[in-house]
Amino acid sequence: MISVCMATYNGAEYIKEQIHSILIQLSNSDELIISDDCSTDATVSIIESITDSRIFLLPITRTKLGIVRNFENAISHSKGDYVFLSDQDDVWLDGKVYDCMGSLAKNLMVVTDCFVVNNELKIINKSFFSIRGSKSGFFSNLFKNGYLGCCMAFRRELLEYALPIPKYAPMHDIWFGLMAQLFGSVYFLPKQKLLYRRHNNNASLTATKGNLGVVKIIEIRATLIFLIIGRLIKIYSRKFKFNS
C-alpha cells in the first residue's frame, strides 16, 4: 500500500491538477492523505469536490501548523508501507510511482530529480540535482541540503526513527533525508519525475543555488547536529532497554 502525504495551504490555483496527476498513478488500495493548514481560499472546497475514495482530507486545525507540522500531520495519519511526499502545486510525471517503487526495493529512501518550472509549467531548469549538486551522503547533505521533499519516497520503517519531527527542525525534508542516511541507504534517482512549480506563493524557497547567509547556514547545521544526536540517544536508549 502506498500513502501519498500532501500538505496544503491556499493552493486553490493548482491543487486540482496536482491531485489528478497523483491519483492516475495510484492503485485502488492506495491513499492520498491531505492536511490543510487553515486555507482561506477555495483549496478545501476543491479537494472536497473531487470524488475519489482514495482521498482523505484530515480535519482542519483551528490554529496554523506551519509547513513542517502540516506535513507531519499528514504523515502521522498515513497507513501505507511506502510513503510519498507531495506539494500542492507541482505535477507528477508518468512513471513516478513505478520508478520510485523500483528503487525502494533496495533503498530506505529514494529522491528523484525534477524539472524546475514556472507557474505556466514552462521549464526554468532541466535538473534540480544540477542546481543543488544533489547526491547521497550524510555529511554532504548536512553541509549542503540536496534533498527535496516533494521528490521523496521512503519505506514506512523510516518513521520509527524520524517521527516525531523535532520542534526546531528547520525543514521536514532534510530531517527525513538525514535520518534515512543514518539508518539505511538513500538513492538519488537521476530521472526527472516531477514538474516542480516555482511561483510567488510557494511555501518554500528551495530552487536556487543558495539563498541563506553563512551565519544562518551554520546555525541551521548546528541545530541539526544537536537534534540528531538527541534522537540517536533516544533510539539507542530505547533499544538497550528493550534488549535488556
Model pLDDT for residues 67-93, shown as the tens digit of each residue:
999 999 999 999 999 999 999 999 999
Q: pLDDT value at position 205?
A: 47
Q: pLDDT value at position 240?
A: 76
Q: What is the mean pLDDT of residues 149-158?
A: 98
Q: What is the mean pLDDT of residues 173-201?
A: 94
In a domain, 33, yes or no: yes
**In the predicted model, is pLDDT for residue 200 greater than 60?**
yes
User: How many angstroms separate the CA atoms of 168 and 164, rounded?
Assistant: 11
In a domain, 235, yes or no: no
In a domain, 26, yes or no: yes
In a domain, 37, yes or no: yes
Which range has the worst mean pLDDT, 5-14, 118-127, 166-175, 233-242?
Answer: 233-242
In a domain, 221, yes or no: no
**In the predicted model, is pLDDT for residue 133 greater than 50?**
yes
Q: pLDDT value at position 61?
A: 82
The answer to whether 190 and 123 have CB atoms below 8 angstroms apart is no
In a domain, 112, yes or no: yes
The string of pLDDT tens digits covering residues 166-180 is 999 999 999 999 999
Return the percentage of the chain with pLDDT > 70, whole number: 93
In a domain, 236, yes or no: no
Range of the domain at 66: 2-211
Q: pLDDT value at position 97?
A: 98
**In the predicted model, is pLDDT for residue 9 greater than 60?**
yes
In a domain, 234, yes or no: no
The number of folded domains in the chain is 1
**In the predicted model, is pLDDT for residue 203 greater than 60?**
no
**In the predicted model, is pLDDT for residue 47 greater than 70?**
yes
Which range has the worst mean pLDDT, 21-30, 61-70, 185-194, 197-206?
Answer: 197-206
Q: What is the mean pLDDT of residues 24-35?
A: 98
CATH code of the domain in which 51 resides: 3.90.550.10
